[in-house]
Amino acid sequence: MEILDSKLSLEDLFDFLFNIISYVIDNDITLKDGETIGLTAEQKISIKLSKARFVDGTSIKLEV
């Protein structure tokens, strides 16, 4: 999972990632390209599967 060019503070980004990752693991969620995810009903974070920037292969990118 990669988050590129976020405007969030490091603390807010850490909290966001921790909560999203906990949700995904606890609920056995599979993130899919083109879908959205959020911590509230109003929050819609785009999910994109593409070539990774920082690791080999592909990664999921969240536009935060």
Region 29-54: what's the mean pLDDT? 93
Domain assignment present for residue 38? The answer is yes
Region 34-47: what's the mean pLDDT? 92
Q: Is a pLDDT exceeding 90 seen at residue 39?
A: no
Helices (H), 1-64: 10-26
Domain that holds residue 56: 10-62
Q: Does residue 48 contact residue 60 with C-beta atoms inside 8 Å?
A: yes
Q: How many folded domains does the chain comprise? A: 1
Q: Is a pLDDT exceeding 90 seen at residue 63?
A: no
Domain assignment present for residue 34? The answer is yes
Domain assignment present for residue 46? The answer is yes
What is the reported pLDDT for 64?
86
Region 19-44: what's the mean pLDDT? 93
- How far is it, in rounded angstroms, from Cα 11 to Cα 44? 20
